[in-house]
Amino acid sequence: MADVEQGPALANDALSLDGLNTTVSNGTDAVNATAAKFVSSPEGPALAYGSLVFMALLPIFFGALRSISCAKSKNSADMPETITSRDAARFPIIASCTLFGLYLFFKVFSQEYINLLLSMYFFVLGILALSHTMSPFMNRVFPANLPNRQYQLLFTQGSGEGREEIVNYEFDTKDLVCLCISTVVGIWYILTKHWVANNLFGLAFALNGVELLHLNNVSTGCILLGGLFIYDVFWVFGTNVMVTVAKSFEAPIKLVFPQDLLEKGLEANNFAMLGLGDIVIPGIFIALLLRFDVSLRKDSRTYFYTSFLAYIFGLGLTIFVMHTFKHAQPALLYLVPACIGFPVVVALVKGELTEMFRYEESLSEADPALKDEAEAEKKEQ
């Protein structure tokens, strides 16, 4: 989490750059050598931090709820991506290579052209993510008297018995409406890089990540969060790589909110920011605990609410430390111990620790390769 002046100067990747929460040491750079930085009122930072916390909680809460129905989907195209313990162990290494690769790219090639390519990539990805996010809402507000036609996009290769499906996507009129609205937001972002458009895409990315990325068990979650805890701390405090990439990377993969909104309105440009990785990574663990609560077949959602409150505590602590020491903080440094520690303590008190760590999501029959991989991991252990 960080303060930053000038809109799209910093960015956080939801997966490979999750700790990218950094700015110049005290967050008080001058606009130029002769102009002093505009100082916002005390209410401005409070509003910005509060808004970031609120925005971070939205995709975690609703993404976790949507992950339940996603896990029960019978359509193989809608099945979530399941992260195994092997994937979790590799992830910090892959993330580090990606981060360092971006660092080298920005050192060697023109920042302008790289960000142009990234903008086009996230333009397409953002439209799809926002459209998927809006779909359940559109199902409720779509007028009943309007026809909802069904469509199918089908690409095949070959002919006869050897014909193979490359793309088989079914959609309807409601999906087309969502796609049109998302495209308008995408064009708005590309043309203006406005912070509101950035946040709409960021929220969509985060919610889709929490909904569609599933951990197969609690042990895998601990491995993933523990590895990224080390990754986050090392790249933020140990080197200048994260800072360099953060200053160069422009993409809607962070949530931002202006601290000078009360003074400058929607044209404000002195931002506090939170990387999507600091939402998605703890979020998929919190969603797993909600599905564990459901598996217990009890009315309470003890572990979900415990981890949810733990996330609020960890994020609040991040803001407090950053505000006190005037230095950007790797949020996972505080979020990981809170999100793992609080539920484990509750499980110990309730005598359900063994049951919690034994819980494993049932793998889809439609994905035998994933089942074989899980069985191979069990044999290795």
Residue 185 lies in a domain: no
Higher-confidence residue of 362 and 230: namely: 230
Q: Worst-scoring range by mean pLDDT, 69-73, 104-108, 198-202, 280-284? A: 69-73
Q: Worst-scoring range by mean pLDDT, 24-33, 155-164, 169-178, 260-269? A: 24-33
Residue 207 lies in a domain: no
What is the span of the domain harbouring residue 54?
2-30+40-114+212-366
Residue 158 lies in a domain: no
Query: Number of structural domains, the chain?
Result: 1
**What integer pLDDT is reported at residue 17 of this predicted model?**
35
Residue 372 lies in a domain: no
Q: What is the mean pLDDT of residues 132-139?
A: 86
| Cα separation, 215 vs 50, whole angstroms | 29
pLDDT at 317 over 60: yes
Question: Is the alpha carbon torsion for 269, 272, 273, 279 positive or negative?
Answer: negative
| Cα separation, 224 vs 376, whole angstroms | 19
**What integer pLDDT is reported at residue 193 of this predicted model?**
87
pLDDT at 33 over 90: no
| Cα separation, 185 vs 299, whole angstroms | 40
Listing DSSP states for 229-278 in one string gives: HHHHHIIIII-SHHHHHHHH--SS-EEEEETTHHHHGGG--EEEEEETHH
Q: 277 burial class (0-12, 13-18, 19+ CB within 10 angstroms)?
A: buried
Q: Is residue 151 helix, strand or coil?
A: strand
Asked about 278 being catalytic, the answer comes back as yes
In percent, how much of the chain has pLDDT > 90? 39
pTM: 0.81
Residue 177 lies in a domain: no
Residue 348 lies in a domain: yes
Asked about 260 being catalytic, the answer comes back as no
Mean pLDDT of the chain: 80
Q: Worst-scoring range by mean pLDDT, 57-61, 150-154, 286-290, 356-360? A: 150-154
**What integer pLDDT is reported at residue 16 of this predicted model?**
34
Residue 146 lies in a domain: no
pLDDT at 90 over 90: yes
Higher-confidence residue of 162 and 123: namely: 123
Residue 164 lies in a domain: no
pLDDT at 202 over 90: yes
Residue among 3, 18, 175, 232 flagged as catalytic: 232
Residue among 278, 293, 299, 372 flagged as catalytic: 278
Q: What is the mean pLDDT of residues 19-35?
A: 35
